[in-house]
Structure 1
Amino acid sequence: MPQHYEFGLDTFGDVTAGPTGEHLAHAQVLRNVVEEAVLADRLGLDFFGIGEHHREDFAVSAPEVVLGAIASRTERIHLGSAVTVLSSDDPVRVFQRFATLDALSGGRAEVILGRGSFTESFPLFGFALNQYQELFEEKLNLFSELLSQEPVTWTGELRPPLTGQRVYPPVEHGTLRTWIGVGGSPESVVRAAHYGLPLVLAIIGGSPARFAPLADLYRRALEQFGHPLQPVAVHSPGFIADTDREALDTLWPHYKVIIDRIGRERGWGAVTREHFEDEAGPNGALYAGSPETVAKKIAAAMRAIGASRFDLKYSNGTLPHEAMMGSIERYAYEVVPRVRELLAVADEADDELDAVARGDRADAAAAAEHPAE
């Protein structure tokens, strides 16, 4: 099990409700996201990620611009995407934008590359949905070449080739920290392993434990491809209040808004309170409850998966800014320290078991070498 753990926050800049229930303007939501990130930095959290969307219910279509504003007002927190939809973007421009963010933030930039769960960016930027898979494969291949920061010679089918091209600005120190975000297919985790890149599992429904085999597959694939072990992170939604009941009652109407909206687009039925509470239960992917409830659930998920980072997607539909600020405070002040305690105890127990097993193996080897007469 990993011994170093990180804890972050993710948001999609969901359009939220104002004091009287009205939807806030996109501009105000963007300003609120900056304040949420400033709070996360002040409270000592490790990462703040912003998703990319191109639709009315999310305010952020240019995460790097928002992250640049956050970089100017923060000191230590790492800043990144959650995710960058590489399929409908240009790998060179993505690299340039995040290298620029890295320079402005003093080396705190990260990028999480993925295909995204919405498709609005494809027609918006002139890409064909029937090339969904091919676009991501080819662009990820090019992006991986750019990470070397050497002159790039590359040829593909869907983008003009590069011949000995350098890309500017270079990352000042080391390389750009790059993750692959996946939704749960074996092909996706093997692809991440092929490039030797860290993995983010987006777990937004069902039991987190069912992703453990995928994490194991990823680690085996890394070894087979000859890459060193890489960190695995978990991204999941949640909300923290003083009690379980307060958290569920506060979150439910805002959660229902977004799930029902997406459900109508995708042919699902309306979400029920029963389903919502099941997802918030011990075997669901919604981390909603009191600090102790959420901490125990996060620790259990990280243990099951072998994750070294957990990113709470703290924005949920129309959940107001003030409620999110309170949730961020509870996450940083109460949940994260408690998760660290739980993981430290579990890691210590693992170490003791490993020591016993090593001793048993040593005894067996000695007995084999010097059998009793």
Structure 2
Amino acid sequence: MEIGISTFLETTPDPVTRKVISHAERLRHAVEEIVLADQAGLDVYGIGEHHRADYAGTAPAVVLAAAAAMTKRIRLTSAVTVLSSDDPVRVYQAFSTLDGISNGRAEIMAGRGSFIESFPLFGYSLDDYDELFEENLELLLAIRASEKVTWRGGHRPAIPNLGVYPRSVQTPLPVWIASGGNPESAVRAGALGLPIAFAIIGGMPERFAPLVNLYKEAAAKAGHNPDALQIATHSHGFVGETTEQAADLFFPSTQAQMNVIGRERGWPPYSRDSYDAARSLRGALYVGDPEFVAEKIVLLRRNLGITRFFLHVNVGTMPHREVLRAIELLGTKVAPIVHKELARIEKSE
């Protein structure tokens, strides 16, 4: 069971002071967070790709590479790479370079992304949204499987038996499929035998159990061992010294950012009542003291059989010192409780 951090490198206005952190400062904060996460014993740190003013994570591999030489064991992944609007050759080269710098700790989490700004930016049509992802995923997997690639598709120039370099330290370079709950994504990942990461940011996480079953059934049907595949989840949350402290610290930035996104997507205003309901044991927000957050992660493991958990710590801009403390608590307090409890459960069974 791996536990780690995910972030979109938010640069939203502080909900209290209205100050906006610069992209440059947020990028430097991210490197500091990765180094601390490694020191605190966390297993993975992921950065999501976005192309809008309120996020600084347009190039996750570059940020991760900046921290790679300063860390020893933590795995470094995108969360996600918007593969539909990127070139699979360049994606592989960026992350194989990261893999070399980190000596085999790089991963790619490929997804369609929940925002669409990258499509007009890079000249792609939203009419090709699904087809681009399928085609680019096919090419990415072909590149990681073979040094020389011969490939032809409908949206990119053909590759006539050309080499793609540098090659990754890991063979193969890990590629995950990210899903927001789409059944077709779960089936695709299972059929390909790829690990999957579910973004669970609302409702009850246990409702994803049917998708996990679809994933495993598709894997078995394609000849893969479903018990050997990895399943991750990504959820918003925050760890504090007490549950009340954590809840009060995390709410303002969460409310501000959820309302920004909500206005774009037609959601109702985000209230404290909604927030508090989501903090309950069966809710999708992992906010509380170390014991409570650990209890929720163990429940998630019981319900979905996950092998990796991402805590998305800062939804919107929060004081950097508070984010660092939450990362430290996740690694030094939450993770040991989870591992001890899972060992006890396994022994009793």
- 2:9 aligned to which of 1, 13, 31: 13
- Measured in 2, the distance between the counterparts of 1:125 and 1:98 equals 20
- Measured in 1, the distance between the counterparts of 2:211 and 2:274 equals 25
Q: What are the residue-to-residue correspondences of 1:78-157 with 2, within 5 Å?
A: 78-157=75-154
- Measured in 2, the distance between the counterparts of 1:21 and 1:71 equals 33
- The CA deviation string for residues 100-146 of structure 1, in whole angstroms up to 9 with x for no partner, is 00001111101100011111101111110111111101111111111
- Does the CA contact (< 8 Å) of 1:67 and 1:101 recur in 2? yes
Amino acid at match of 1:134: E
Amino acid at match of 1:11: T
Q: What are the residue-to-residue correspondences of 1:339-350 with 2, within 5 Å?
A: 339-350=338-349
Q: What are the residue-to-residue correspondences of 1:212-251 with 2, within 5 Å?
A: 212-229=209-226, 230-251=229-250
Q: List runs of 5+ in structure 2 lacking aligned partners.
A: none
Residue number in structure 2 paired with 1:304: 303
- Does the CA contact (< 8 Å) of 2:12 and 2:257 recur in 1? no
Residue number in structure 2 paired with 1:327: 326
- Does the CA contact (< 8 Å) of 1:181 and 1:200 recur in 2? yes
- Does the CA contact (< 8 Å) of 1:17 and 1:320 recur in 2? no
Q: Which moved more, 1:222-231 or 1:36-45?
A: 222-231
2:145 counterpart SS class: coil
Residue number in structure 2 paired with 1:363: none
- Does the CA contact (< 8 Å) of 1:144 and 1:195 recur in 2? no
TM-score normalised per structure 2: 0.96
Residue number in structure 1 paired with 2:280: 281
- Does the CA contact (< 8 Å) of 2:41 and 2:332 recur in 1? no
- Measured in 2, the distance between the counterparts of 1:75 and 1:326 equals 20
Shift of 1:294: 0.6
Q: Which moved more, 1:203-212 or 1:341-350?
A: 341-350
Shift of 1:7: 1.0
In angstroms, what is the RMSD of aligned CA positions? 1.3
Report percent identity of matched pairs: 49
Shift of 1:320: 1.6
1:187 counterpart SS class: helix
- The CA deviation string for residues 229-285 of structure 1, in whole angstroms up to 9 with x for no partner, is 311111111001111111111111110110000001111121011101111111211
Q: What are the residue-to-residue correspondences of 1:30-109 with 2, within 5 Å?
A: 30-109=27-106
Bigger Cα Rg: 1
1:34 counterpart SS class: helix
Amino acid at match of 2:333: E
- Measured in 2, the distance between the counterparts of 1:303 and 1:239 equals 21
- Does the CA contact (< 8 Å) of 2:139 and 2:151 recur in 1? yes
- Measured in 2, the distance between the counterparts of 1:79 and 1:181 equals 15
- Measured in 1, the distance between the counterparts of 2:18 and 2:25 equals 15
- Measured in 2, the distance between the counterparts of 1:173 and 1:232 equals 20
Shift of 1:149: 2.3
1:163 counterpart SS class: strand
Residue number in structure 1 paired with 2:200: 203
- The CA deviation string for residues 352-372 of structure 1, in whole angstroms up to 9 with x for no partner, is xxxxxxxxxxxxxxxxxxxxx
- Relative distance call for 1:129 and 1:72 in structure 2 (3 A) is same
Q: Which moved more, 1:64-73 or 1:142-151?
A: 142-151
- Does the CA contact (< 8 Å) of 1:184 and 1:214 recur in 2? yes
- Measured in 1, the distance between the counterparts of 2:3 and 2:329 equals 13
Q: List runs of 5+ in structure 1 lacking aligned partners.
A: 351-373
- Measured in 1, the distance between the counterparts of 2:211 and 2:341 equals 24
Amino acid at match of 1:241: G
TM-score normalised per structure 1: 0.90
Aligned length: 346
- Measured in 2, the distance between the counterparts of 1:181 and 1:289 equals 26
Shift of 1:297: 0.4
Residue number in structure 2 paired with 1:293: 292
- Does the CA contact (< 8 Å) of 1:233 and 1:307 recur in 2? yes
Q: Establish whether residue 262 from structure 1 lines up as the match of residue 258 from structure 2.
A: no
- Measured in 1, the distance between the counterparts of 2:18 and 2:244 equals 22
1:269 counterpart SS class: coil
Residue number in structure 2 paired with 1:166: 163
